[in-house]
Amino acid sequence: MERQPGDRIEVFAVPGMPMVVPGQDLAGATLAALAAGGEQLRDGDVLVFAQKVVSKAENRFVDLQSVAPGPEAIRLAAIVDKDPRFVEVVLGQASRVVRARTGVLIVEHKLGLVMANAGIDRSNLGPETGEDSVLLLPEDPDGSADALRAAIRDQTGCDVAVIINDSFGRPWRSGTVGVAIGVAGIEALVDKRGQHDLFDRTLRVTVIGHADEIAAAASIVMGGADEGRPVVVVRGLPAAAAQGRATDLVRPAHEDMFR
C-alpha cells in the first residue's frame, strides 16, 4: 500500500542551539544550527520553539529587586508561600486569580491562558541574568510566531509553520504537557464536524486541538530539564498552510462549563 501524507511523522531537535540572549536573531541562530548539523528545512515543516527561548530573545526578563509588592500581592504571598515580589509580577500579567493555596497560584493570563504563575518561572535562566530574574511569556506569542515564520521565509525561501510551546498542567490529570501558545502558518484547530467515520457516521462534535498535539509531540524531544533542545522540527504533517492562531485554542468564557 502506498504511504499517504501523515502516515509517518518525523520529529527531531535542531542540533547545537546556542544559549539564547536578549536581542538575538532567533531565526538566524536556528538556521545556522541546522546548517552546522547537516539539516535543511523543507516546505511544510513545522518549527516548534520553546517559549523560554522566544521570551529570552525578546528580553522578557524582570528583576525582582525592582519590584515593590502591593497589598494584594503580600496577602496572596502569605497564602501561597511565595516571594511577594514574584506574586506581584504574576498579578501584573493576570486578568484574574483562579486558585490560590500553599505552593499553588493559578491565574488567567491576560492572553486568556489559565496557568500556574502566569507562565513565569526561573528555570533554565543563566547566571548572567541575575539571581532575582524571572522570565515572562512573550507579549504577543502569535505575533512572535508570525515574525519567526517571516524571518525564516526571508532567509531560506521555505514556507514553514511555527509553533511556540509551553508546559501546562491540566485539571483532572497529573503531569505537564506541551501546548501551543503561539501559532503561525498552520491550523490550530481542525474541525472534523460534518465528516464521516469509518462506518459512515457523521461526526458532530470532533474538533481537534491540532497545534497542541504538535506541541506535545515536540515536547517529548525537547525534554523538560537540562536537555538543551529548545527548537524542534516536525516533518511530514499533511496539513496545508493555514492562518490558525493560538488564540483559537482558548475556550470562550461563555462555553466554559467549569468557570
Mean pLDDT (the chain) is 90
- pTM, 2 dp: 0.92
Distance from C-alpha of 107 to C-alpha of 105, rounded to nearest angstrom: 7
In a domain, 223, yes or no: yes
Do 76 and 117 belong together in one domain?
yes
Residue span of the structural domain in which 113 resides: 62-134
Q: Tell whether 170 and 242 lie within a shared domain.
A: yes
- What does the pLDDT read at residue 171? 84
Categorize the per-residue pLDDT at 128 as very low, low, confident or very high, splitting at 50, 70 and 90. low
In a shared domain, residues 38 and 114? no
Query: What residue type is 19 in one-letter code?
Result: M
Counting the structural domains of the chain, the total is 2
Is the predicted pLDDT of residue 126 greater than 70, yes or no?
A: no
Query: In this structure, is the dihedral angle defined by the CA atoms of residues 41, 47, 53 and 57, taken in order, positive or negative?
Result: positive
Is residue 43 situated within a structural domain? yes
Q: Name the more confident of 1 and 221.
A: 221
Residues 4, 255: Cα–Cα separation, whole Å: 36
What is the pLDDT averaged over residues 45-63? 96
